[in-house]
Structure 1
Amino acid sequence: MTNTALNAALPARTLAQKLLARAAGKSHVMPGEIVNCQVDLAMFHDSSGPRRLKPMLDELGATIWDKSKVVLVMDHYVPEQDDDSRRIVRIARDWAREQQLPHVYDSVGICHVVVPQKGHIRPGMFCVGGDSHSPTGGAFGAYMFGIGSTEMLGVMVTGELWVKVPHTLRMAWKNKLAAGVTAKDMMLHMIGQLGMNGGQYQAVEFCGEAVQALSMQERMTLSNMSAEMGAQVGLIAPDATTMAWLAQAGVPENEMPDPAEWFTDADADVTTHAYDAATLAPQVAAPHSPANTAGVGTFAEVSIDVAYIGACTGAKLDDLRAAAQIFRGQQVARGVRLMVAPASQHDQQIAEQEGIMQVLREAGAEVLPTTCGACAGYGGSIPEGATVIATTARNFKGRMGSATAQVYLASPYTVAASALRGRITDPRGMVL
């Protein structure tokens, strides 16, 4: 039977069902079914990886099932600033050499940005990551989610993982975003409406005209922050935009997957939430939850001490470009500290070539290393008691290191506009 005939004989399926069926070697899977999946890619970083996995593997006397499918990124405890961080990073580097891992990225950026930039994630894959924001891979039409160290140990030894097939929530966005409104605003709005557990163990799929119009980096922000909804995965069906990214990332033409089969069938069983991108205002999440979200105008009287442009959700090349549009020819307000930590060296280098980093520096930015940095509470960058507006994914109490800081979340446009005015500001009208 041909693939076309086989697909015609099957009931309508969601993108999540198709991806899990492929990984499990089955023609069809149903929500609630538990299936055993073959892992195509396992990613972990210096915090979640070797320091936890090495002693467990040693105790078992076990070896890695397929080193070509493992990616290690050093991004949390670099650059090393104390004895503890030096110890953690040394363990990772030594273990990578000992195991002769072929895919190791040391201090070149945040894992969720570096791994796709290196062409590791492609439509149709089943991937796991040792980090809660691993659903970022779903932006490429791959089934990717975060797992803990014990589950990762099992993957390292067997290359397999069982999964309970989730139901699908479709977030359908019609029309297009206004200038100065971004995927970050879309995501904060959805989290504000549905709550931190609104997608608990669901496959959240983003679709519609507004989503299709987004760049890959903007799509990555949506999939990344599906974790804030409690979702297992955050999926976007691959298209020409996806394939163009893969080509630019160096994926050989003969290894290019066919994106045409990875979509949700029209009659599939889903729950749909409808949104209008054209009416969306810039969003801000107040302390201490991404769900404490309202339109930017609600917070117009809030003065800020720190503006932080960083993290996998807010310092990619597109984000840096957005901030530069606001800052060009201007400087931050007196008393405001502007910190910029590009998400990867690749993006920072392009931003340098385009003059974006110069614009940010002239505006008063302190440029930090291309690491997780303050988003993961590392480095002590955020002062005690400061009011911060940040492009990060989370604003939990103490998340950025200071337990007394009041952290607001927003898009790069809104963070930049707020830095110029010294208070939370609507960026619309300031976008060049």
Structure 2
Amino acid sequence: MGMTMTQKILAAHAGLAKVEAGQLIRARLDQVLGNDITTPVAINEFEKAGFDKVFDNARINIVLDHFVPNKDIKSAQQSKQCREFANKYDILNFFDVGRMGIEHALLPEQGIVTAGDCIIGADSHTCTYGALGAFSTGVGSTDMAAGMAAGTCWFKVPAAIRFVLNGRFSPAVSGKDLILHIIGRIGVDGALYKSMEFTGPGVGSLSMDDRLCVCNMAIEAGAKNGIFPVDDVTIGYMTGRSRRPWAVYAADPDAEYDETIEIDLAALEPTVAYPHLPENTHTAAEAQAQRIPVDQVVIGSCTNGRLEDMEAAWQLLRGKKIASGVRGIIIPGTMAVYKECIRRGWAEAFIDAGCIVSTPTCGPCLGGYMGILAEGERCVSTTNRNFVGRMGHTGSEVYLASPATAAASALTGFLTDPRTI
């Protein structure tokens, strides 16, 4: 029996001719990632273990993004600890205020991650980089510490589910709608510790921003990772961007999958995940019929803070005003995206529509700052989780949606299908 795409990458990084699902392996790492919340814990473990050097100062990435600019004394102390560690070990990929971005938008943009890589990050949404044909997964801070020191990590090789994509999206449908549809179909544990491998003729119609969004939320289905094949779209994105040569791996024709799921992209509709799980999905048309009022809209995050996401919001918001009583918060994913929004006049259009435009930060996504919800408030958000209390009070509600659906909802003041605007 052949190997899946993920298994091939892991075999290569373990120095093995073949691996099988369930096998324990020790694999070489191409990149290690941490942020301002998880890196301090990793630093403490690194020092406790007695390590006094890192395996490669060019392959460790520390991105201050969750509470940056710092929201309070504790976050300031955490950022200071990261800065001191980065200075001590001359960490080349250290991103602070002014250079930073939301980590999973920033690393692909900067060409730090590339096809064929094996990547760990002390953040669950590290699975984003599968969009580039890499194996990437989230780990705990202790594994991050060991990875920084040794440049290796232990893995249990995952089994896989194959998603065969056919057709292409209809207008106002995007990668966010696709991954919400999938999670609604298989559930939040439907791909538990498995690789979600996307294939089929429809893959070519998905932009890189769509793919990054889809892989970002693989963890919301319980997956170990999500991954797309390397095609012309991938190569076009990496050319002139990737800092290192890439490697292309493809699944064997006789690779074994636990399940194969066919999806017709043309049949998908704008989709919303109701509280309090990403699997609680409904179409935006259903939501609009229920006229569910909203207090806040957030467009951004590592899921939907990229340029295409900003453009989708701008297309709907330009020349209009958001509804009275709605707080509109727009957060570009990186400084480059932020700058491009300014250059194209989108930032001004957002402000004229009644929104605020923030420096890149995770902020409201995890209930950190820049958009905390009070009891009884509802938010339509392009983020990736809507658990109880995720964005504030345990009595608040978060509805996950695409940038187009979020922008449409900001204009009307209730959950709205963007196709009706």
Tell me whether the two structures share a fold, i.e. TM-score over 0.5. yes
Which residue of structure 1 lines up, in the alignment, with residue 273 of structure 2? 285
1:351 and 1:208 map into 2 onto residues whose CA distance is 33
2:2 and 2:85 map into 1 onto residues whose CA distance is 45
Q: CA RMSD in A?
A: 1.4
Equivalent residue pairs, number: 414
Question: Which residues in structure 2 correspond to 1:294-313 (within 5 Å)?
Answer: 294-300=282-288, 301-313=291-303
1:407 partnered with 2:404: no
Gaps of 5+ in 2: none
Deviation at 1:59, TM superposition (A): 2.4
Which residue of structure 2 lines up, in the alignment, with residue 327 of structure 1? 317
Question: Which residues in structure 2 correspond to 1:344-363 (within 5 Å)?
Answer: 344-363=334-353
1:387 partner letter = R
1:120 partner letter = I
Which residue of structure 1 lines up, in the alignment, with residue 380 of structure 2? 389
2:46 and 2:324 map into 1 onto residues whose CA distance is 53
Question: Which residues in structure 2 correspond to 1:160-239 (within 5 Å)?
Answer: 160-239=152-231
Deviation at 1:333, TM superposition (A): 1.1
| Contact preservation (8 Å) 2:272, 2:284 | yes
Residue 223 of structure 1: SS of its match in structure 2?
helix
Which residue of structure 1 lines up, in the alignment, with residue 32 of structure 2? 42
Which residue of structure 2 lines up, in the alignment, with residue 58 of structure 1? 47
2:93 partner letter = H
The percentage of counterpart residues that share the same residue type is 35
| Contact preservation (8 Å) 2:106, 2:334 | yes
Q: Residues 352-374 of structure 1: CA distance to partner in whole angstroms, max 9, x if unpaired?
A: 22222222122111112201010
Gaps of 5+ in 1: 1-10
| Contact preservation (8 Å) 1:176, 1:209 | no
Which residue of structure 2 lines up, in the alignment, with residue 373 of structure 1? 363
Residue 428 of structure 1: SS of its match in structure 2?
helix
- 61-70 vs 217-226, greater mean Cα deviation: 61-70
Distance 1:205 1:250, change over 3 A: closer
Instruction: Normalising by structure 1, report the TM-score.
Output: 0.93
Deviation at 1:429, TM superposition (A): 4.7
1:210 and 1:392 map into 2 onto residues whose CA distance is 25
Deviation at 1:250, TM superposition (A): 5.2
Equivalent of residue 263 in structure 1, options 242, 247, 250 = 250
Instruction: Normalising by structure 2, report the TM-score.
Output: 0.95
Which residue of structure 2 lines up, in the alignment, with residue 5 of structure 1? none
Residue 243 of structure 1: SS of its match in structure 2?
helix
| Contact preservation (8 Å) 2:137, 2:224 | yes
1:78 partnered with 2:68: yes
1:273 partnered with 2:265: no
| Contact preservation (8 Å) 1:189, 1:283 | yes
Distance 1:104 1:202, change over 3 A: same
Q: Residues 187-235 of structure 1: CA distance to partner in whole angstroms, max 9, x if unpaired?
A: 0011011111000000101222333211111100011100100100100
Deviation at 1:249, TM superposition (A): 2.3
Residue 419 of structure 2: SS of its match in structure 1?
coil
2:34 and 2:264 map into 1 onto residues whose CA distance is 36
Question: Which residues in structure 2 correspond to 1:15-164 (within 5 Å)?
Answer: 15-49=5-39, 51-62=40-51, 63-107=53-97, 108-164=100-156
